[in-house]
Amino acid sequence: MVNGMEDSLERIRSAGLKTTVQRVSVYETLQSMGHATCDAVFDKVRERIPTISLATVYSVLRSFSEKGLIRELTLYNDKVVFDITPEDHYHFVCLRCGRIEDLSVGTCPYPGEVDASIERFCGVYYGLCGDCKNEEVE
Ligand SMILES: [Zn+2]
Ligand SMILES: [Zn+2]
């Protein structure tokens, strides 16, 4: 995982943040999860840094988000999820198990109904994932 490590250090640095053990661990943990709540990241990061606090994990995630290194999604149930992919993309969220998948759909054309300059886009589809859909049928 030497390459992954250099990559995360480089990304944190290029976002204008100093690389600290906490930041690198939080970044790499979110990287391994894709999308995760602060609590879920905290649970995993503690395996690497047992002394880290939830408040630290939250402030690291917030600083990443403010620097555009990661993205923060607020889902329909007000659940806040951090996303390792900062670029605009669509999501699928399973209403039953909470699974979140990235959808590789091209950029959504702005309908232009409101005169505005668009800075970011976040489209979310909600439904049942394959596993949950099959359970429903059985
Ligand atoms: Zn599901
Ligand atoms: Zn995503």
- Alpha-carbon gap, residue 134 to 90, rounded angstroms: 23
Alpha carbon of 22 to ligand 2 centroid (Å): 23
Element containing residue 62 per DSSP (H, E): helix 54-66
Q: What is the pLDDT of residue 138?
A: 67
Buried b (16+ CB within 10 A) or exposed e, 68-100: ebbbbeebeeeeebbbbebeebbbebbeeeeeb
Enter the tokens of residue 118.
Answer: 């668009």
Distance 57 CA to ligand 1 centre (A): 27
- Measure 127 CA to ligand 1 centroid, in angstroms: 8
- Determine the average pLDDT of the residues in 68-97: 92
Q: Are residues 128 and 104 in the same domain?
A: yes
- Look up the domain containing 111 and give its range: 87-137
Is residue 117 domain-resident? Answer: yes
Say which ligand is closest to the CA of 128: 1
Mean pLDDT value of segment 60-69: 97
Query: What are the strands of the beta sheet with 80-83, ordered from one edge?
Result: 35-36, 80-83, 71-74
Q: Which residues pair with 82 in a beta bridge?
A: 36, 72
**Quick one: average pLDDT of 20-41?**
97
If asked whether residues 8 and 68 sit together in one domain, one would say yes
Q: What is the 105 CA–ligand 2 centroid distance (Å)?
A: 12
pLDDT reported for residue 111: 83
- Average pLDDT rounded to a whole number, residues 67-83: 92
If one compares 76 and 95, the residue with the highest pLDDT of the two is 95
User: Residue 10 above 70 pLDDT?
Assistant: yes
Four-CA torsion 129, 131, 135, 138, nearest 10 degrees: 110
pTM (two decimals): 0.84
In a domain, 82, yes or no: no
Residues 67 and 120 in one domain: no
Q: Which residue has the higher pLDDT, 116 or 105?
A: 116
Mean per-residue pLDDT, 105-130? 84
Q: How far is the CA of 64 from the centre of ligand 2 (A)?
A: 15
Q: Does residue 81 contact residue 35 with C-beta atoms inside 8 Å?
A: yes
The reported pLDDT for the residue numbered 105 is 66
